[in-house]
A = this chain, B = another copy of it.
Amino acid sequence: MDDSNTKNSKCRIVVDAMGGDYAPQNAVVGAIEAFNEMKDFDLILIGKKDEILNVIKSNQLSFDPDKIIHTDEIIGMGDSPTAALKSKPNSSLVKGVQLVKDGKADAFVSAGNTGAVSAAGTLIIGRLPGVERPTIGTYIPNLKGITTVFDVGAFVDSKPQHLLGYAQLANVYIKEMYNIESPTIGLLSVGEENEKGNKLTKETFELLKNSNLNFFGNIEGGDILTGKVNIVICDGFVGNILLKFGESFLKILKPMLKKTADSNFFDKLKIAISKNSVKKTFKVFDPNDYGGIPLLGIKAIVIIGHGSSSKTGIKNMVLKAREMHNKNLVSKIENSIKLNSQKKLDN
């Protein structure tokens, strides 16, 4: 696929109406809200047509029924990713990704099974030339803005060249989407000194140091939230554990505050009063604001959202897909990879 052909063309986005814990409600309403706000892209909804129509009707929305593609299978959150792709070929997820593969759409957006969406994107749409492993990242807010972490679970047992690849993909994404000319890249390790780390990070350190990336060096677990770097690079095993641990931290703080409050009437009163302030602070960590995470390194745009995505979450995912298309991101990544391998040959 030559992305220069699609440059400036009207973006066509397929939204998986059956993806996520609150599907089809949030997926359908969020997608139509994004469409109504922008109107400069084509929206295709894929999933059980009668259910989609019901959501449209009950929310008093209007949407062209010809833009709804019926599929009758659903890949659930608990389904084994690669097995589900084979056993459920008529699912909204597989058919939706296939539309992108066949050039009938430019982007696929889903809050469904993360592993299955990653696998479909990688296996059906395919990797860009020169990409050994695609990657998915996450946003972690900090006092200055946001930090992104790549990889957060697409792959485990990464090799040094895979981590270098994640850094190269993330670099183009952050540069283009957040207008940061030369994003700083930190390698997640157990000490700041160059020689600290495990076998994987020590070898990766050398690759990053010798790359044309703005490599900051090693960073520690405590440096992520302080915003020391724009991009944190790690193996998917570490990234996934970190991401889930962080999410659970916010979940546990609320009942802990409540537990403290229950032990004392005055504390109860104070916490009731402060609930809104605490809520506002926690809002910063709300994944719905960040519009999902892209699967980087494949030949088209795939945006993966949190299973619990709200309507706003889905809306922001669709808007992000649109922005990635309008900024011609896939071509830019492709060109950057070509340039990197050219430089390698020249050296």
Contact = CB atoms under 8 A, between A and B. Distances in A.
Given A220-B244, A221-B244, A222-B244, A278 B257 contact: yes
Contact of A245 (B143, B222, B253, B260): B222
Contacts of A220: 240-241, 244
Interface residues of A, number: 54
Nearest to A234: B241
A201 B224 CA distance: 25
A256 B242 contact: no
Interface in A216-264: 220-226, 234-238, 240-249, 251-253, 255-257, 259-261
A248 to B, nearest CB: 4
A157 interface: yes
A267 interface: yes
A144 to B, nearest CB: 11
A333 to B, nearest CB: 26
- Of A142, A245, A271, most B-chain CB atoms within 10 Å: A245
Contact of A277 (B157, B201, B242, B274): B274
Contact of A242 (B197, B199, B241, B280): B241
A88 B213 CA distance: 39
A190 B236 contact: yes
Contact of A142 (B199, B235, B238, B252): B252
A67 interface: no
18 contacts: A143-B255, A156-B198, A157-B199, A223-B248, A224-B245, A224-B248, A225-B245, A225-B248, A225-B249, A226-B248, A234-B241, A253-B253, A267-B280, A270-B273, A270-B276, A271-B274, A273-B273, A274-B278
Given A156-B198, A220-B240, 14 more contacts: A143-B252, A143-B259, A153-B190, A190-B236, A190-B241, A197-B237, A221-B240, A221-B245, A221-B248, A222-B247, A224-B245, A226-B248, A242-B245, A246-B249
